[in-house]
Amino acid sequence: MEARGQAVCGQEALDLLNCVTQNPFDQDKCIRLLHSLRHCVLTKKVNKFSLDKQEHKDKDSVSKKN
């Protein structure tokens, strides 16, 4: 996990999810956010997200490649 208890690339993922729920749908904005999330997961070597809400997990809420 990163500082302040947020998952790796969690803010980018949340921003993209919130973008697709907006009405009217701004496709250009969502595409920019998709690219931002893609850059984050490549940079930080994330290979899987989880929506599991367990508070006392030993693992991060995303899996990383080694």
Here the tokens at position 16 are: 């993209």
Chain segment 23-62, per-residue pLDDT in tens: 999 999 999 999 999 999 999 998 988 877 655 444 445 5
- Whole-angstrom CA distances from 48 to 25, 27, 65, 66 are 26, 24, 9, 13
State the pLDDT confidence band at 17, using cuts at 50, 70 and 90: very high
- Residue 65's pLDDT is 58
Q: Where are the domains of the chain?
A: 10-44
| pLDDT over 70 percentage in the chain | 70
Give alpha helix (H) positions in 1-66.
Answer: 10-21, 27-43
As a whole number of angstroms, the distance between CA 35 and CA 5 comes to 24
- Residue 14's pLDDT is 94
State the pLDDT confidence band at 16, using cuts at 50, 70 and 90: very high
